[in-house]
């Protein structure tokens, strides 16, 4: 039975109502300092810790709960004869419930200009000691460090007079996790302030075993980042289909980031295969965007992952009839579309992420290598400048499709180029891309240009009747923009682009041969913009 509770909290949220609930159950309340004052001011009867220990709070409150009559009452094993005999001899009374949260160290050190002395004073000592003591003795003591738990704890005590063993186990783990995170924050701060050392501590939980890793013989798990919020696969709900694999997570994350890169008001669709967007488009409707994205590489789209920024509707679902898709990730699914897609395949994974269109809250990204981890800030933005460096001016009416091309290029593995054009008024598609080549020239001449012609042949056969295929290609290429993720080390990239009728190019610039590249562009009549921002993606 819960007979005595110790309450000592920095975060006073909900503590009065919780204490009032305990009092109504005839549970004696012990408290300290500010917590005791706020409870008494609310008319709740409280016993001071100093009345339990027989010692006043000392040294400005630094010493108050570090006493055998507190920790003995928490740590005593109730069915151990020796423990209970020693407790009786020392007049130690049992404490059945410990409710503690800690000095706000993380909030304190996040303030601009905080002094070391202020940070030190916000290192809690007695609080973690009580949490750990209670958590260690979870078979007999309930420990609460989160105000969100007050309600269901009261409900259990009202119902049975005790906190259930399972709940005590959960609370104990939560308390140890809380003190571990608290100590990690202190370590990170003091390591930098006192030793000049940078410490990185990451927290993940809820490890789920996946079917396999990148290959069948590799084991894999997915761990959720602690307290992750916003658009993340960790927050997606699977509505249908078999469990996700390691590669599914990688590709779906790429698709999510690619769609969010566009940040457009109309529908956007990314189609990802092997961690590269093979299709990307915007449209006035989801169906239009999906069709244009599919045209970006109908062959690679087989077995792909689709992500969109809008609710998936029946028309888009019907477009996928006869097409093999691994995953669809969307903010939601219309009921008839959901039913249609469920009937399409038992294996098709449908992931709902209502937060998909919210901003990313993470500032850094991480990549593990053998023996270490790399940290970098997120790649935000697409250009530092917009500098037309050629005699042929860059048309302002190509600005929007050019920005689309560079957004797409950011999401393609380097060395990357993308070809994009405005296929309908205000709607853009990635006509093709060249990805992952050791040199950019091959990305242009062997991949992007060749693939664009293959895609245009499919589109030509479907819808064009008033001109030859070659005329159609020339007309589209004349309107295309080519974006490069890095500078051109030689002028051959410009040469091969012009050979295919591509006359508008974006590049970060910055090569020692920039002038040679510019001279070649001028000789060929190509319009070239330097953006000043590189977008390697490894």
Mean pLDDT of 203-208: 84
**Which CATH number belongs to the domain containing residue 324 in this structure?**
3.40.140.20
Ordered alpha helix ranges (H), 480-532:
492-499, 514-524
If asked whether residues 178 and 251 sit together in one domain, one would say no
Separation CA 485–CA 535 (nearest Å)? 5
If asked whether residues 447 and 473 sit together in one domain, one would say yes
Give residue 525's pLDDT.
Answer: 95
If asked whether residues 228 and 334 sit together in one domain, one would say yes
pLDDT, one tens digit per residue, over 445-493 is 889 889 999 999 989 899 888 889 999 999 999 999 999 999 999 999 9
**Residue 358 within a domain:** no
Rounded alpha-carbon distances, angstroms, from residue 39 to 42, 63, 119: 5, 21, 27
Give residue 411's pLDDT.
Answer: 94
Give residue 52's pLDDT.
Answer: 76
**Residue 374 within a domain:** no
Does residue 200 carry a pLDDT above 90?
no
Token output for 88: 């009786």
Does residue 66 carry a pLDDT above 80?
no
pLDDT, one tens digit per residue, over 95-109 is 999 999 887 888 888
Does residue 61 carry a pLDDT above 80?
no
Does residue 59 carry a pLDDT above 80?
no
Mean pLDDT of 388-404: 95
Give residue 73's pLDDT.
Answer: 87
**Residue 20 within a domain:** yes
**Residue 373 within a domain:** no
Does residue 334 carry a pLDDT above 70?
yes
Give residue 463's pLDDT.
Answer: 86
If asked whether residues 167 and 217 sit together in one domain, one would say no
If asked whether residues 342 and 447 sit together in one domain, one would say no
If asked whether residues 52 and 160 sit together in one domain, one would say yes
Separation CA 242–CA 44 (nearest Å)? 54
Where is the domain boundary, 333, 352, 371?
Answer: 352
CB of 498 within 8 A of CB of 348? Answer: no
**What percent of the chain has pLDDT above 70?**
99
Residues in the chain: 538
**Residue 365 within a domain:** no
Q: State the catalytic residues.
A: 136, 274
pLDDT, one tens digit per residue, over 257-282 is 999 999 778 999 999 999 999 999 99
pTM of the model: 0.84
Number of Cα atoms under 13 Å in the Cβ half of residue 12 = 11
Output the average pLDDT for the chain: 91
Which residue has tokens 């609710």? 311
**Residue 388 within a domain:** yes
Pairing of strands 349-352, 325-330: parallel
Separation CA 269–CA 83 (nearest Å)? 66
Indicate the number of domains in the chain: 3
Rounded alpha-carbon distances, angstroms, from residue 442 to 89, 448, 460, 529: 85, 9, 25, 21
If asked whether residues 384 and 458 sit together in one domain, one would say yes
Where is the domain boundary, 335, 352, 369?
Answer: 352
If asked whether residues 146 and 112 sit together in one domain, one would say yes
Owning domain of residue 252: 207-352
pLDDT, one tens digit per residue, over 276-296 is 999 999 999 999 999 999 999
Mean pLDDT of 112-125: 86
pLDDT, one tens digit per residue, over 165-188 is 999 999 999 999 999 999 999 999
If asked whether residues 211 and 185 sit together in one domain, one would say no
Rounded alpha-carbon distances, angstroms, from residue 178 to 95, 134, 174, 225, 441: 21, 13, 6, 15, 53
If asked whether residues 116 and 188 sit together in one domain, one would say yes
**Residue 526 within a domain:** yes
User: What sign for the dihedral angle of Cα 55, 57, 59, 62?
Assistant: positive
Separation CA 482–CA 433 (nearest Å)? 9
Where is the domain boundary, 195, 218, 247?
Answer: 195
Give residue 34's pLDDT.
Answer: 83
Does residue 424 carry a pLDDT above 90?
yes
If asked whether residues 407 and 384 sit together in one domain, one would say yes
**Residue 509 within a domain:** yes
Is residue 80 classed exposed, middle or buried when 0-12, 13-18 and 19+ CB atoms within 10 A define those classes? exposed
**Which CATH number belongs to the domain containing residue 94 in this structure?**
3.40.50.1380
The full DSSP string for 357-419 is GSPP---EEEEEETTEEEEEE----S-S--EE-SSSPPPGGGHHHHHHHHHHHHTSPSS-EEE
**What confidence category does residue 501 fall into, taking pLDDT thresholds of 50, 70 and 90?**
very high
Q: Between 205 and 320, whose confidence is greater?
A: 320
**What confidence category does residue 225 fall into, taking pLDDT thresholds of 50, 70 and 90?**
confident
Does residue 327 carry a pLDDT above 90?
yes
If asked whether residues 334 and 438 sit together in one domain, one would say no
């Amino acid at each position: 039975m819960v007979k005595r509770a110790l309450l000592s909290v920095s975060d006073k949220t909900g503590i009065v109502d919780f204490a009032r609930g305990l009092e109504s159950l005839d549970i004696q309340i012990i408290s300290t300092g500010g917590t005791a004052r706020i409870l008494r001011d609310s008319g709740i009867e409280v016993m001071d810790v100093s009345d339990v220990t027989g010692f006043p709070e000392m040294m400005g409150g630094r010493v108050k709960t570090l006493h055998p009559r507190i920790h003995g009452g928490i740590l005593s094993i109730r069915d151990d004869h020796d423990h209970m005999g020693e407790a009786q001899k020392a007049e130690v009374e049992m404490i059945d419930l410990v409710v503690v949260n800690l000095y706000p160290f993380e909030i304190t050190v996040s303030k601009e200009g905080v002094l070391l002395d202020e940070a030190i004073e916000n290192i809690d000592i007695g609080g973690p000691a009580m949490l750990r003591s209670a958590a260690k003795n979870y078979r007999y003591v309930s420990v609460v460090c989160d105000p969100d738990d007050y309600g269901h704890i009261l409900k259990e005590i009202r119902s049975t007079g005790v906190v259930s063993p399972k709940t005590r186990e959960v609370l104990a783990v939560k308390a140890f996790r809380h003190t571990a995170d608290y100590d990690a924050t202190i370590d990170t701060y003091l390591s930098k302030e006192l030793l000049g050392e940078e410490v990185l501590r990451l927290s993940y939980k809820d490890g789920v075993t996946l079917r396999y890793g990148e290959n069948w013989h590799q084991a894999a798990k997915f761990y959720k980042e602690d307290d992750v919020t916003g658009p993340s696969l960790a927050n997606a709900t699977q509505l249908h289909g078999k469990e996700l694999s390691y590669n599914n997570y990688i590709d779906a994350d790429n698709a999510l980031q690619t769609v969010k890169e566009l940040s457009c008001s109309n529908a956007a669709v990314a189609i990802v295969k092997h961690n590269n967007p093979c299709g990307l488009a915007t449209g006035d409707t989801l169906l239009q965007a999906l069709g244009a994205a599919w045209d970006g590489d109908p062959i690679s789209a087989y077995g792909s992952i689709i992500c969109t920024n809008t609710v998936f509707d029946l028309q888009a679902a019907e477009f996928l009839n006869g097409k093999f898709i691994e995953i669809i990730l969307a903010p939601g699914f219309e009921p008839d579309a959901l039913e249609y897609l469920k009937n399409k395949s038992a294996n098709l994974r449908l992931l709902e992420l209502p937060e998909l269109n919210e901003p990313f809250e993470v500032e850094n990204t991480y990549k593990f290598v053998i023996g270490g981890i790399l940290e970098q800030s997120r790649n935000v933005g697409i250009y530092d400048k917009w500098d037309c460096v050629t005699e042929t001016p860059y048309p302002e009416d190509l600005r929007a499709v050019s920005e689309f091309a560079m957004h797409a290029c950011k999401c393609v593995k380097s060395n990357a180029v993308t070809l994009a054009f405005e296929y309908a008024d205000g709607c853009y598609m990635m006509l093709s891309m060249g990805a992952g080549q050791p040199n950019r020239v091959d990305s242009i001449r062997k991949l992007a240009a060749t693939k664009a012609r293959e895609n245009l042949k499919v589109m030509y056969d479907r819808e064009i009747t008033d001109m030859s295929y070659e005329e159609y290609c020339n007309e589209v290429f004349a309107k295309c923009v080519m974006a490069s993720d890095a500078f051109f080390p030689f002028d051959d990239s410009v040469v091969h682009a012009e050979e295919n009728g591509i006359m508008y190019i974006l590049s970060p610039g910055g090569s020692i041969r920039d002038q040679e590249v510019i001279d070649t562009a001028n000789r060929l009549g190509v319009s070239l913009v330097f953006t000043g921002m590189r977008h390697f993606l490894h």
